[in-house]
Copies of this chain bind each other. A is one copy, B any other.
């Protein structure tokens, strides 16, 4: 990896920062955040502006360019990568280290008095604008919205915004029609006495209309906004996608519908002016509901007194609770996914052990190949983390030719991968050894497994927030002075984003919504030894009602059911460190893998993988 040479680009950017063509007054600093106008986690190439200006293409980072300086804030996952990808024009600001200044403090320390700091109001979320603006104002500076994105003005070969065909999902996948979703949304709006709801997150638009797209890699979404009134539905979307007869039929665009279900299709770019018109037409006490993560531009379109902002939208919350059709789809997707992984691991054992020719990239490609043979496969759900030995300790590793390592009988192999199927989204991590693991490696693996089981088998009252379960995953590691520096689980979409709110299992969040039956999260504790190995055991699990002796005075009991059914390598387990209960959990889990995945492997005629599955699910025996 050689750094991107940015001298000329920065010179151009500094010119447009002063050009009356783009800014009313010169800006002394310009902020380039990571995101797109929808605050997406995964973004399209045309939105990779921060990577364009700096060379650093990690998933998280904010660039700030002043007349004298160019600085990049990113977190511990990317210190190395950012340092490799950026040239000397850039200063790396290592977030999380004690001496690293916050962006606003740094700005205050380098800016001349009374400076203007520019940012694209479509990219910055309203809550971040508020914080940054307040900090700058109290130091005598101003945060100003710059309408035209200044990176776009100098990015001559910027790729087009994608505009791919849509996929319509029928009731057998979604369980609820888009009409019924609109009805439910309007009833939530009536409860809160709001007249309008603005859908800004891409997965929320997709979910609401039972449509999927492929404008962004890994996330089956498409660029669109929607504005839902009590009697109107406006969908802001570009291209000829609305000409597709299947889409027209699905959205009933040509039917004579009750007016309140008639969808008005409008250009993607007209959202701001339409929203401003909505804002201008409001009477006192009429409110517009937006996520507090919506862009500053859209939030400002509604006068402050009329805004109703919440951290989680009613769509985000409804989307998280999967109905029976979605749950069944997720089950099917996970069965297919497990078949592919059984094939992969069987293949790896045959290739790695005697030949030693399989690299991380080859393994990742093979995993994709096996998955793509399964019915309704669409694409991967994220970039496969295929890592062996020391690469496994890099939590968000993705193999590239420069780092690509060959799997061997001497190193631990960690594979964190998943796929989008038309019936569901998967995300699974397994950690294996193709030779003989050391006692220490087995010890660490077993603590991680104990943590995984502690969460998976946890019983808790209805209404418990996921963050209250996070320590269960760490307790066995903590007892020996080990820990891992990431959360334990995230929400998983149903043929949607592999990371979704509003629930999760992490020490870092407090504002998560309570867990309820039907929610789907990951359970993925780990342990990482820098320079040596990484261990993670991840299942996607479904929140289900539990049976308890006293049932929390009828408040109701919850627990988890694993949807992922892939063997956990018993060779890595030190059985003597497990309690009998934990040992039974593993044996019950493997029994279920045998029954469910075994039957599917049989049905698909994949006999070699079936034999591998049977071998790998032999019951553990604990010596008392």
Contacts and interface: CB of A to CB of B under 8 A. Distances in A.
Interface string A447-463: 00000000000111100
A549 B468 contact: no
Contacts of A310: none
Contacts of A474: 460
A472 B475 contact: yes
Given A468-B470, A471-B469, A483 B459 contact: no
Contacts of A480: 548-550
B550 A507 contact: no
Interface string A133-145: 0000010000000
B305 A479 contact: no
A481 B305 contact: no
Contacts of A461: 478, 481, 483
Interface string A62-95: 0000000000000000000000000000000000
B478 A459 contact: yes
B481 A551 contact: yes
Contacts of A483: 461, 552, 555
A313 interface: no
Contact of A549 (B481, B510, B548): B481
Given A458-B475, A459-B478, A469-B471, 7 more contacts: A138-B305, A459-B481, A460-B474, A461-B483, A468-B471, A468-B507, A471-B471
A546 to B, nearest CB: 8
A482 B552 contact: yes
Interface in A113-150: 138
Ranked nearest first, the 7 interchain pairs of A and B with the lowest CB-CB distance are A481-B548, A510-B510, A481-B550, A481-B551, A480-B549, A468-B471, A481-B552
A557 interface: yes
Contacts of A510: 510
Residue from A475, A481, A507 with most neighbouring chain B CB atoms (10 Å): A481
Residue from A460, A465, A551 with most neighbouring chain B CB atoms (10 Å): A460
A481 B554 CA distance: 9
Contacts of A468: 470-471, 507
6 contacts: A460-B474, A468-B471, A468-B507, A481-B550, A482-B550, A483-B552
A526 to B, nearest CB: 15
Nearest to A460: B478
A139 to B, nearest CB: 10
Contacts of A550: 480-482
Contact of A481 (B458, B470, B481, B557): B557
Nearest to A285: B139
A13 to B, nearest CB: 32
A465 B506 CA distance: 13
A481 B461 CA distance: 7
Contacts of A460: 474, 478
Nearest to A481: B548
Residue from A461, A507, A550, A555 with most neighbouring chain B CB atoms (10 Å): A550
A304 to B, nearest CB: 9
Nearest to A547: B481
A459 B475 CA distance: 8
B459 A479 contact: yes
Nearest to A482: B550
A561 B469 CA distance: 24
Residue from A475, A478, A483 with most neighbouring chain B CB atoms (10 Å): A478
A479 B552 contact: no
A527 to B, nearest CB: 10
A458 B475 CA distance: 8
A482 B507 CA distance: 24
Contacts of A458: 475, 478
Nearest to A284: B140
Interface in A512-569: 548-552, 555, 557
Residue from A461, A465, A469, A471 with most neighbouring chain B CB atoms (10 Å): A471
Interface string A368-391: 000000000000000000000000
A480 B469 CA distance: 16
A226 B562 CA distance: 58
A522 B172 CA distance: 53
A337 to B, nearest CB: 31
Contacts of A549: 480-481
A484 to B, nearest CB: 11
Interface in A137-168: 138
Contacts of A482: 550, 552
A286 to B, nearest CB: 14
A104 to B, nearest CB: 15
A60 to B, nearest CB: 23
Residue from A479, A549, A555 with most neighbouring chain B CB atoms (10 Å): A479
A138 B284 CA distance: 11
A551 B479 CA distance: 9
A479 to B, nearest CB: 5
